[in-house]
């Protein structure tokens, strides 16, 4: 993903195929979800399963595609220094509704294990700010995830 992100930061989108862009956005979304799963320092099996479900549902991925995206996302998350290049990519290519959906997916993953840590909330707030979402959108996404735990 780093190679793709660097490519997007140095050349125009027209020079990059739509498949590459779609893949980069899927991996970027997955990286944020991996980061939120790791934020409380314990990744429960229920969180791993929920992460898979969220990505599969959002992007209609086959099992092999999902495995590939998650493998790349976990490797990228291991090397992640800052989430700003991820949110920049999302700001450039996701509409406002999809950015809200990313925050909602993050909240749904937080509630997968039934507990919310302040580390998780801080990370989601940071991502929401970088995606230019309002405080009310941040709160609405949280309430929706709380009310619909286990749903998409």
CA nearest to 36, candidates 107, 84, 140: 107
- Backbone dihedral region for residue 120 (phi beyond 0: left; psi -120 to 50: alpha; all else: beta): alpha
CA nearest to 36, candidates 8, 73, 61: 73
According to the model, what pLDDT value does residue 10 have? 38
According to the model, what pLDDT value does residue 43 have? 92
According to the model, what pLDDT value does residue 114 have? 86
- In this structure, whether the domain defined by 2-147 belongs to CATH 1.10.3680.10 is answered with yes
Mean pLDDT computed over 24-50 = 95
CA–CA dist 83, 89 (Å, integer): 10
- Is pLDDT above 80 for 52? yes
Would you list the domain boundaries of the chain?
A: 2-147
**Percentage of the chain modeled with pLDDT above 70:** 87
pTM of this prediction?
0.86
According to the model, what pLDDT value does residue 150 have? 56
According to the model, what pLDDT value does residue 142 have? 95
Q: Give the 3-state DSSP-derived string for the chain, with helices as H, strands as E and coil as C.
A: CHHHHHHHHHCCHHHCCHHHHHHHHHHHHHHHHHHHHHCCCCCCHHHHHHHHHHHHHHHCCCHHHHHHHHHHHHHHHHHCCCCHHHHHHHHHHCCHHHHHHHHHHHHHHHHHHCCCCHHHHHHHHHHHHHCCCCHHHHHHHHHHHHHCCCCC
**Percentage of the chain modeled with pLDDT above 90:** 79
According to the model, what pLDDT value does residue 73 have? 96
């Amino acid at each position: 993903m780093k190679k793709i992100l660097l490519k997007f930061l140095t050349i125009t989108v027209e020079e990059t195929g739509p498949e590459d862009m779609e893949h980069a956005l899927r991996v970027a979304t997955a990286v944020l979800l991996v980061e939120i799963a790791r934020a409380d320092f314990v990744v429960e099996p229920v969180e791993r399963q929920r992460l898979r479900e969220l990505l599969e549902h959002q992007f209609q991925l086959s099992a092999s595609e999902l495995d590939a995206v998650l493998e790349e996302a976990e490797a990228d998350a291991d090397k992640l220094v800052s989430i700003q290049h991820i949110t920049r990519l999302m700001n450039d290519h996701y509409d406002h509704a999809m950015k809200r959906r990313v925050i909602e997916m993050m909240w749904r993953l937080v509630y997968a294990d039934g507990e919310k840590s302040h580390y998780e909330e801080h990370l989601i707030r940071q991502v929401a700010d970088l995606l230019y979402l309002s405080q009310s959108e941040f709160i609405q996404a949280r309430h929706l995830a709380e009310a619909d735990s286990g749903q998409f």
